[in-house]
Chain A
Amino acid sequence: MKKVHFPKLPRLPWSRRTIRAADRKTQNTNALKGLPEPPWLEQPLRSSLENNLTALRDIFKDCSDIVYRELMISPERKGMLAYVEGTVKSEDLQDHILRPFILGMMLKDPEVNGTLDPLDETRISMSQTKTMDQWKMVSAAILDGNAALFVDGTPRAYIFSAKGGVRRGVEEPQTEAVIRGPREGFTETIRVNTALLRFKLKTSKLKMHSMTMGTETQTSVVLTYIEGIIDPKLVEDVKKRLSDIKIDGVLETGYIEELIEDHPFSPFPEMEYTERPDTVTAQLLEGRFAIFVDGTPFALIGPVTMWQMMQASEDYYERFFISNVVRWIRFLFLILALYLPALYVAVTTYHQDMLPTTLILSIAAARETIPFPALVEALIMEISFEALREAGIRLPKTVGQAVSILGALVIGQASVQAGIVSAPIVIVVSLTGIASFTIPRFNFAITIRLLRFPIMLMAGVFGLFGIIIATTLIATHLTKLTSFGVPYMSGYSPYNHNDQKDIVVRAPWWKMIKRPSWIGNDNNKREKEKMNGSPATEEGW
């Protein structure tokens, strides 16, 4: 038998472009060096305060926010305290560093005067102290919001952690409001965020893996997960992906999301972000990991499935009967958000036979004087709605009201009365607008909103066949998509019976005994099987 050789198909650019370790080796050869640094930085500290001061002033040349406070350690010794103004708690420095030395000098305490080490426990009442002797470390410590004390005659710097400065407090999350559920949200301070998580997960199994990212921003990033629930291989993989990030700055979780996801060209989000500690906790308990980045109130969660994008935290707080109905409405409106304008275009331009007679006559009556084809009409309205939404977010609150009034006029009555668009398309646009806001995850909602444009174009070109083609393409893509190796449609594709309890329906809590199946972990039972609430017990129902 002659073996038939099929020609190798060219790899499509949007096909699986997983950034694997092998691919990254090529990236590592041109490792990021960062900006050129002054020569001092590679050297150790000197013992002379004069020299150290010159070095310090050279490193922080033209940095007006660095404070140099000279002080006497003892009559013979001079010292100097350096810190960045605004990032330290100056009260702490006054109370716990400056005052003891000044008091010691005034009292002329012989013991004090004789002591060389200012870190003597009797003197400094700061909780975290360290000594460093390399300029590189010292400068990094100062920039990180510590105070550094240099003493004449010692080639070391004493670093006091007095991190402070004004940052936003814990407030109600802006983007994820709930009726029932905790009202606290993450802040810009990473330690506050990890503490908020620790309040909820009081277990040593909650691991927090810290790292620093960004050659210039030096942003602290924390990878957190629950050991024993999460797949250890997943943790390894994520750590690897995170450590490969070499970039000058990380300002938001979005930087990290784009640098570690499986399929950079997919329109669908492969990670979830949230402002809510309870959401993070719930996801960690289902075997996911979360990434905190200093300076943003959002935590990244992965791996995700599509169903997770349709779940709101309230689904689990409200009684299951109600959350089921709400979830179904959400799914219904997801379909509407994706297809309604396309269906309108397809039906009015190709399939007039499909609608009930009275409905098509009303649409025909409304469209009688409209100068545009249905596709153009739909595009005009949908694009102006998107613009209106975008303007609504960007505009300062004081003028925001003007936009909503203008928008209501433009997208509403006025354009219909002017005979530019028909009344049914206004209904269609408003319905899709409402529908897209029922999706709990904003990044998923954006994807759905944008995907409806290609579907609309396909409907305008091929009618219902176009909608079917577009749907097939999307479905193919979705089944192929993975998030950290977990199939995006997990539960349905590949199918798992147990996972059905939290996809389209939300089973009652006494029924959701197992964690999602894709964890790949034996430790997948999360609750006792027959509890008091479950109808399986005699006293149940």
Chain B
Amino acid sequence: MKPKGSNAGKIRKAAILSCLLLCSVLLGGCWDRREVNDVAFVMGTGLDKEGDQYRVTMQIALPGQLGSSGSTGGGGGTRGNKSYYLESKIGPSFRGASAEEQRGVSRTLNFSHRRVLLFGEALAREGISKMMDVLARIPQNRLSSLVVITKGASLDVLQADAPIEQYPAEMVRELNFSYMKNPRSIKLLMNSILMEGMDPAVPVMSLVKNGPATIKDKKTNIQVDGLAVFRKDRLTGMIDNHLSRFLLLGMGQAKETEIFIPPPKGSGYLSVHLIENNVQIKPYIRGNDIRMTVQLNCNGNVREDETTFDISNGGNLKWLEQQVAQEIKKELGEAVRLIQQKYHSDVLGLGRAIIMSRPDEWKRIKPQWEQLYPKVEVVIDPIVHIENIGAVTKPFGIKKEQVQNE
């Protein structure tokens, strides 16, 4: 008899054990294996309303057309082939249309790299809340996708040429980043929809041509058209490009704002570029009489002086700062009137300001806030500080005698 635990026994045990391990590995493994060339990456999705049903348009990346080395057959984007294609289907719901879509695509649709979610104007006016469930329920639908409202159908924007980026969706995303400080991702948008005393605002984009009809190389492009303001989850109106810049200042979301000021004498404009702004909203409540002070602290640079006005002396600069403040006060005031009275959309978060500073008052105000909001008196109080007037101090192309300096 061999002693227990002899060498042969040990080896047999080891063999059995490794067989079992191998079985578990080979049987259990690989079941969700998806090679990267069996996956279709959705770069952007457009949602539109068509009758009772939803039209979902997906922009699917064609990596083979990217012209990266290794894609031997393709030859790359230089051939003029688009690096994406659109797949558009109708379904009873967002997910329903997406499932429909999968039936026409041989690769597994992957939504984890979706850059943007576009809502057509018509759909957004009916409300976007119910679309949001699927986005949060399936983790692959990243909440970091950016939300944009399109003028007209979102389908059109998605089929832009957008030659500057690889995909139009990428362009929409980049435009978002240059437009707002914190672009509205699904997460931020849902936050402001669900938050009391705050309504969401989302950039509006549309399809444009890259120049007048006479331009030879015709391409379609995407541009920002302004700001869509919501009431709860419904789109109520669109602020045009000019006013939306000031509205963004008021929201503390402005990224690059240029303000043009005419000089006291003569023609032309002085351009002031605001690089930094902080907003503080302070409510004053007496019964149902609510006043708000919107305090803005802006820092800026002078970008252009095509007038004869000399800004190199302190007094003149002060005058310019005041003019900029006046301009902000006037234009932002108009934008605020628009959202208060016409669109009933609290994108500045006036209600939020009350909740933050006077939670007790809010309890009382809350039931009638809908009626009170348009009547709130908003005082805009901007302070502008010009930090830098550029490399030249006096107007550059003008003789010394003609420069006005008072």
Contact = CB atoms under 8 A, between A and B. Distances in A.
A370 B66 CA distance: 16
A13 B72 contact: no
A404 to B, nearest CB: 23
B18 to A, nearest CB: 10
Interface in A1-16: 10-14
A370 B115 CA distance: 27
A103 interface: no
A361 interface: yes
A350 B66 contact: no
A398 interface: no
A362 interface: yes
B108 to A, nearest CB: 10
Contact of B71 (A14, A352, A365, A424): A365
A534 to B, nearest CB: 48
B63 A361 contact: yes
11 contacts: A13-B10, A352-B110, A360-B36, A360-B113, A361-B41, A361-B113, A363-B36, A365-B63, A365-B68, A367-B70, A462-B28
Given A364-B63, A374-B36, 13 more contacts: A13-B10, A349-B33, A352-B113, A353-B112, A357-B41, A365-B66, A367-B35, A368-B64, A423-B68, A423-B69, A460-B29, A461-B26, A461-B28
Contacts of B215: none
Contacts of A10: 5, 10, 13
A380 to B, nearest CB: 15
Interface stretch (A123-131, A267-275, A294-302, A414-422): A414-422
Given A360-B113, A364-B63, A416-B70, A11 B5 contact: yes
A417 B72 contact: yes
A268 B68 CA distance: 41
B72 A369 contact: yes
Contacts of A363: 36
Interface string B74-115: 100000000000000000000000000000000000101101
Q: Which 8 A-B pairs have the closest CB atoms?
A: A461-B29, A353-B112, A366-B70, A365-B63, A364-B63, A365-B68, A368-B64, A365-B66
A361 B66 contact: yes
A373 interface: yes
Given A11-B5, A364-B41, A353 B14 contact: no
A364 B110 CA distance: 13
Contacts of A353: 110, 112-113, 140
Contact of A462 (B29, B37, B61): B29
Given A349-B34, A367-B37, A374-B35, A362 B5 contact: no
B14 A12 contact: yes
Given A13-B11, A352-B112, A361-B66, A366 B71 contact: yes
Interface string A23-56: 0000000000000000000000000000000000
Interface-centre pick from B17, B33, B72, B166 (highest chain A CB count, 10 A): B33
Nearest to A377: B35
A13 B14 contact: yes
B44 to A, nearest CB: 11
A366 B34 contact: no
B17 A12 contact: yes
**On chain B, which size bracket covers the interface?**
35 or more
A359 to B, nearest CB: 10
Contacts of A373: 33, 35
Interface of A is mostly: helix
Interface string B55-70: 0000001011011111
B39 interface: yes
B113 A349 contact: no
B17 A349 contact: no
B73 interface: yes
A430 to B, nearest CB: 15
Nearest to B18: A13
Given A11-B5, A365-B71, A369-B71, A357 B36 contact: no
Nearest to A413: B69
B32 interface: yes
B213 interface: no
Interface in A320-369: 348-350, 352-353, 357, 360-369
Interface in B321-372: none
A417 B73 CA distance: 10
A174 to B, nearest CB: 38
Given A353-B112, A357-B115, A361-B41, A367 B13 contact: no
Interface string A455-468: 00010111100100
B66 A362 contact: yes
Given A357-B115, A368-B74, A350 B69 contact: no
B30 interface: yes
A442 B68 CA distance: 37
B1 interface: no
Contact of A461 (B10, B25, B34, B72): B25
Interface in A408-441: 416-417, 419, 422-424
Interface in B280-337: none
